Structure formats: C-alpha cells, structure tokens
Structure 1
C-alpha cells in the first residue's frame, strides 16, 4: 500500500475549524500508511503573523503547520504574502509528493475559493472536501441563489465528499449532480481533549438553594437560533422563573445588533468574545444546560463540546443533531424556531438537577465511545482518500 502525504486546508488557525482539523491531522499522522501531514491555514488572524501558542498546543509535532497568508501589516501586504506563499506551496506540492488535498471550509472570497480548487486541479491532485456548510454565506445569513449556485460549482470540482450525518448525503448528491463522486458519512470526532485544561475536581457541584440555575448559549450567531433563545428567556423572565442565561463567544459579522437585544434582558448576561481553549471548561462547568436551538446546520461539534464537560443539551430537531442527541437520554429535542418549547425545556431541566446530571453523564459516555474517537474517524477518512485516488486513475 502506497504512503499518503496529505495537505489539509482550512480558513483560520483558531476556533472550531482549527480544533477539528488539528485533531483529525493528529490522528492521521499516527497511521502507518500516512507519511506527511500538513495543516495549512489560508489566512492567519489579522493581527497575528503566527499561530497562537495555545492553538498550537492542540497540534501534534508530527503535523507541519503552514500559514499561507500571515496577518499583520496592510491589506495589500497580507494578500501579497498570501499569493507569494501560495505559489511556493503550489510548486512544491508534487515535489513534496503530495497525494491529495483535503479542504474544510470556503473562505467566502469567491475568486480565491475557485482559484484554489482550479490550481489543485491543474496540478492533478485529488481534492477531498468535508461539508461543514455548502457555502460560507450560510454561516452569516441566508445564501442567495447565486451563492448557492457558486457553492455547488465548488463542490463539483472535488473528487470525494465527507458529511457528518448520513441524512445529508442526498443533499450533497443533488448538489453534485452526478453519481460517480464518492460521498461518505463520517461522524464528528469528540472534543474530550479540552478536558486536559480542567483542574482536578472542577466538575460542577450541587447548587445552593438560593443560586439560580444557568443555561449557556455559545456564539452570537443568528443561524444558531440566538433570537429563539432570547425570546425563550424573555418568556421565562415574564414568568419570573429563576434562571440565568449566559451568552458568550464570538459575534458573527453582521450580527452585532443582537447585542442590543441581549442587553434588554435582565436574566441574560453576555460576554461576546472568543473563549480561549484553556478557559472552555470554566464556562461549561458553571452551566447546568447548554441551549442549541439552531435554525440550520450540518455539523454537531457544539454538541460534542457540551458532552465533553458532561452537560446536557437542548437542541432543535434539525438533522445534524438527530444522530448524536437522544431526546430524554442525552438531552432534550425541541421544534426548530419554537421559543415556547425551548422555554419549557429549560424549565424542565433547571427544576430537576438530577435529570440534568443524568443526561449530561449519558452524553459524556456517548462521545467517549469508540464511534467518536479520532482514531476511528481517521480510519474512515483514509478509506475515502483511497476511493478518491482510485477514481482518479
């Protein structure tokens, strides 16, 4: 069996995509049939020219970390460094024996996203794509007809596709418009790695009688259903139900107006800032339950993060949650967009701490199983890599 040399390409070396790609690269690099793994970020954070040391803490030393467009300086200088680095990267791919490129997310810059794919195609290097969203626009708003068309165009330039839930395979097949491209459903891996930052014995203890239970919402983003969450908290406030909401995490560009809505609620606090890896345990262990009333999505990484800290979730009934959240076993399921149902679910869990702990523990046990181990994810990913290479012959 020939050795595989893999370049994994994603947008920024920080946040959810970085966490996912770093852990997958680590698991791939541990396989005997894999020679080299390069974790390649298209851009760095604007104010940094490197990767935050804490983010590098997640990357195995066997994995080469590359930034094509380092931050710092003017927009012109950043783009000049990107294109200079990309040309060197492109020229070195075959010389370095690159077997395939694995893409994880579009940058949202259409010309760049298309150019990257065409460049790899020109080199004759197979392209594998993991679908987190079909278009970058889906992370910000409802994609236009043009954006959906462009997303399908990018997808059709790939040689194999990964989704996290088998329910998404028909959607990908329809977007591809052809039958020959391999498509595999490979689960999202666990995020148990973040437990390493927890001080010993830091799991949540029983609350005092006068303490309000806490419900956490992570990420100021419309597609995550934050407006549904705020309406549910508004209803609970009107009922004078004792609960404290916490909204934390980064703000999606264009969603800044949501902060004013949060400030109107006395029972919700907000800290709209990035949660560093070392502090992730703190925001989860202070919460009783995690609210995820997503309006749309294709991945379940947020559920894995809650389960890693033994916290039950209240999730909407969209497809990406159905395989990982079991109603009444690891969390509660509510109808998408139904604020009253979300409010009722929050009340149910906040009034029953024993139920909270039982569901949270069951979620932890689920993601601790072999099905969600990165070793199993890497094995299934390598199978798809082989299919992509066979289709190129």
Structure 2
C-alpha cells in the first residue's frame, strides 16, 4: 500500500483560475519570488492551459503545472477515491458548495466543475506532501481550496483582489471562516470585509500588497524637453473597468486644444473592436496606437519612453472595479508621472498631488486637464514621480511583500493568534 508522505513544511499548493495568463503577472512573479527564497510551489489551475499569450518567465513553471480536466480519468478516479476513503467529507464538500452557491446560477454551475477538480487536487497534494494550500481570487479558486481543506484537513488561505469580493460574494463568509487566514491587497478591501462580516473577518485578514520587481522597473532617464509629441501610455487589459474609452476622448480634447499627444494602449481584450471604432469616430487614429499584449521587458521599455501613464479606471454597472493596479506601481517604480481614477484602493498608492494625480472616474475633461498639467509643469511632474517611486519602495516591493506572505504560508509567523470566527 502506498503511504501518503508527511507534509513538507516548505511545499505550498497554489490554486488559480488559469496559469499562466498575461494579465496576472502578480501571481507569476509572486510564485517565482517564493521559489527563489526556497519554497516549492505546486501549481493547480482550474482551467486547462489554452493558447493565451504569456510572459516568457512563465515557461519553466508551465512545464510542471498540474493541468486537469473534469472528464479526465484521473479526475474520475479521485471521486471514487474520496467516496471510498472519506465519504462524509466528500459528500459534505458537495453539499457545502451547492448550498453556498445556490442563489448564484453562474457560481452554482461552476461549482459542478470546481468540486471534482478540487477532489483531484486534494489527492495530488497529499501525494506531493503539500503542507498549505493558497488560492488567488476569493471566487472559484477559494472554493477549490475549501474543498481540499474539507477532504484532507490541510490549512488553506486565499488572496482577495477586486471583482472577487466586489460583485458576487456567494459563500465568501464561509470561505473566510474556514480559512487559516485571508490576504488582501489593500486597506480598502480589508475594511470592506469588516463592514460585510464583522470585526473578526477584518482581524483575520492581512493586507499584503502586490509588489513590483524593482530590478525590472528602474528610474527612466530624463525625457528630452523637445523631441516629438507628448507620449502617454496606458497599460491594462481592454476591459470595461479599465476605462480606455475615456482616455481616447481625452486625447481628442487635447488635439482640439492644440496639444500634440501620442497615446499607446498596451493590452488586449474583448473591447478592442469597440475601442477601434471609437478611435476612428473621433479621428484620433494617428494619435492612438493599440499595441496588444507585451512582455514585462517590453512594458518596461514603453514606460521608459512615456511622459505619463494614465489609467482611467471606472466602476462598471455590476459593481466591478480595480483593486490597486500593478501597472500603476510599475509606472511609479520607473518614475513616470501617473494619472489615475480615485476609486477603491488606488488612493493608497496614488496620493493626489503627491505621488500622482487623481481624477473622478469617467471624466475625459478631467483626464485631459491632468495630462496637460503634467505637460505644462515637467518639474512638478518629476517631483511627483520621484515621490511615487519612494512610495513603491516603501510599500510595494515584491521581495519584501512576498517575504511577508511566505511567513504566513510556511507558518513562520510568531505574532498574536488570529481571532476565531463566531459560530455560524
């Protein structure tokens, strides 16, 4: 009979929706940094790998990522294994997942896939000697981690970012209650969990901010006073909450005011066609370029050639909005002046007039005015950008923040015990 190995205190199972994905560099580089410091991360995505573009740094990890499919023989065998070995835990996991997501049709349907995959992950994690399970996103990945916990007893945690706690909160309180601890990326998010579920939830949540590799994003050389149009970049997926349409309108306003502005949109997504149509409608095709996905090194090069980085985020009709975009951290680390919307946790990074400029969401006129202010006052813009880098150094350093997460994941934490949740 094959024995289950003793858990390795340095082996962590990571669950996420997909891996690798070009829009989630924060997960990729967090894993790389954890492994650089001696942890071993086993990667369990909920979706089989597709053909999505990813960063070249992901290739070595992708080769050993444990992709799974709900209809695969190993997945089916895992259901039989848990039915035979731990029927009450297995059926209890199903009951909890179905009951907890009953009022959300999308989450309920997704649970029908997540639970079987999590049962497979649980068996593989036991075989690997995983000692702790960590999920990125409080939605389906955290459900999978919860199922693994129910089946194996392994402690789990999850990082909550943005939409995963802003829109559909099905089963969120139960996930927090069962977790060993919760991580989130902003004080705004931690306060939100406290308002939703009580002080115990906030006390159980640690704020560990996403971080930037400060060796990859270094201060740019001084920009020439004269030398072509004023270059504005926007680095974000082409999705509604990123608000690029408002930036395109701001560019049209600045053109009408006589300011020569070149705008580079880095990223891709479902709104590309709509943005292309809006660019044509406003007649700014000679000023706005859609560059598509770019690697980290290419993003760094775009930033070094930019006079400003603008992220005109908005809150969507269903309540989705930003957490704190890593692209803003990367821009400030490069000492590029930034313009961002005043929402969610963004003001924790971009302090208006100090580390950047904040504008009301969905306001092209305010965006245009902020860009013009940076253009007209290069010395003031440079001071804000330098202060922005200092802010990143102090609070958004990938190495320091990942070390803090590592202490929790590997149970090296020696602080006060986390508070127990009240009885359900």
Q: TM-score, structure 1 length as denominator?
A: 0.77
Between the aligned partners of 1:82 and 1:291, the Cα distance in structure 2 is 47
1:378 CA displacement: 2.9
1:223 CA displacement: 0.5
Residue 50 of structure 2 corresponds to which residue in structure 1?
Answer: 46
SS of aligned partner of 2:162: coil
Between the aligned partners of 2:370 and 2:245, the Cα distance in structure 1 is 16
Residue 252 of structure 2 corresponds to which residue in structure 1?
Answer: 234
Residue 212 of structure 2 corresponds to which residue in structure 1?
Answer: 190
Instruction: Rate the CA distance shift 1:384–1:155 in 2: closer, same or farther, 3 A.
Output: same
Between the aligned partners of 1:271 and 1:156, the Cα distance in structure 2 is 44
Between the aligned partners of 2:29 and 2:334, the Cα distance in structure 1 is 18
The aligned runs of 1:337-376 (5 Å cut-off) are 337-369=362-394, 371-376=395-400
1:331 CA displacement: 1.2
Query: Is the Cα–Cα contact under 8 Å of residues 211 and 401 in structure 2 kept in the other structure?
Result: yes
The equivalent position to 2:274 in structure 1, one of 223, 239, 257, is: 257
Between the aligned partners of 2:312 and 2:127, the Cα distance in structure 1 is 47
SS of aligned partner of 2:309: strand
Unaligned runs of 5+ in 2: 1-7, 79-116, 315-320
Unaligned runs of 5+ in 1: 70-76
Between the aligned partners of 1:254 and 1:80, the Cα distance in structure 2 is 34
Q: Which has the larger radius of gyration?
A: 2
Instruction: Rate the CA distance shift 1:273–1:189 in 2: closer, same or farther, 3 A.
Output: same
Residue 125 of structure 1 corresponds to which residue in structure 2?
Answer: 154
Residue 74 of structure 1 corresponds to which residue in structure 2?
Answer: none
Instruction: Rate the CA distance shift 1:293–1:157 in 2: closer, same or farther, 3 A.
Output: farther
1:154-199 CA-to-partner distances (Å, cap 9, x unmatched) read 5565442211221221212344568267111122212324348xxx
1:78-131 CA-to-partner distances (Å, cap 9, x unmatched) read 964894795654213123332211111368xx6x87455324432222221111
1:331 aligns with 2:356: yes
Moved more, 187-196 or 380-389: 380-389
Between the aligned partners of 2:213 and 2:152, the Cα distance in structure 1 is 35
Query: Is the Cα–Cα contact under 8 Å of residues 214 and 397 in structure 2 kept in the other structure?
Result: no
Residue 102 of structure 1 corresponds to which residue in structure 2?
Answer: 134
The aligned runs of 1:173-184 (5 Å cut-off) are 173-176=194-197, 179=200, 182-184=204-206
Between the aligned partners of 1:54 and 1:26, the Cα distance in structure 2 is 9
Aligned residues: 358
Residue 172 of structure 1 corresponds to which residue in structure 2?
Answer: 193
Between the aligned partners of 1:156 and 1:390, the Cα distance in structure 2 is 11
Instruction: Rate the CA distance shift 1:246–1:53 in 2: closer, same or farther, 3 A.
Output: closer
Instruction: Rate the CA distance shift 1:263–1:54 in 2: closer, same or farther, 3 A.
Output: farther
The aligned runs of 1:280-291 (5 Å cut-off) are 280-291=299-310
Residue 72 of structure 1 corresponds to which residue in structure 2?
Answer: none
Between the aligned partners of 2:225 and 2:11, the Cα distance in structure 1 is 51
The aligned runs of 1:1-393 (5 Å cut-off) are 3-10=9-16, 11-17=18-24, 19-31=25-37, 35-43=39-47, 45-47=49-51, 53-56=56-59, 65-69=64-68, 80=72, 83=75, 89-105=121-137, 114-115=143-144, 117-135=146-164, 143=167, 147-149=168-170, 158-176=179-197, 179=200, 182-195=204-217, 203=221, 205-208=223-226, 211-219=228-236, 220-251=238-269, 253=270, 256-267=273-284, 268-295=287-314, 296-369=321-394, 371-385=395-409, 386=411
Instruction: Rate the CA distance shift 1:340–1:35 in 2: closer, same or farther, 3 A.
Output: closer
Between the aligned partners of 1:208 and 1:168, the Cα distance in structure 2 is 43
1:338-379 CA-to-partner distances (Å, cap 9, x unmatched) read 22211111111122333333332332233234x433343134
Query: Is the Cα–Cα contact under 8 Å of residues 167 and 319 in structure 1 kept in the other structure?
Result: yes
> Which protein is richer in strand relative to its size?
1
Instruction: Rate the CA distance shift 1:83–1:256 in 2: closer, same or farther, 3 A.
Output: farther
Q: TM-score, structure 2 length as denominator?
A: 0.72
Query: Is the Cα–Cα contact under 8 Å of residues 8 and 21 in structure 1 kept in the other structure?
Result: no
Query: Is the Cα–Cα contact under 8 Å of residues 235 and 340 in structure 1 kept in the other structure?
Result: yes
SS of aligned partner of 1:275: coil
Between the aligned partners of 1:35 and 1:287, the Cα distance in structure 2 is 37
1:288 CA displacement: 0.5
1:311 CA displacement: 0.7
Instruction: Rate the CA distance shift 1:173–1:64 in 2: closer, same or farther, 3 A.
Output: farther
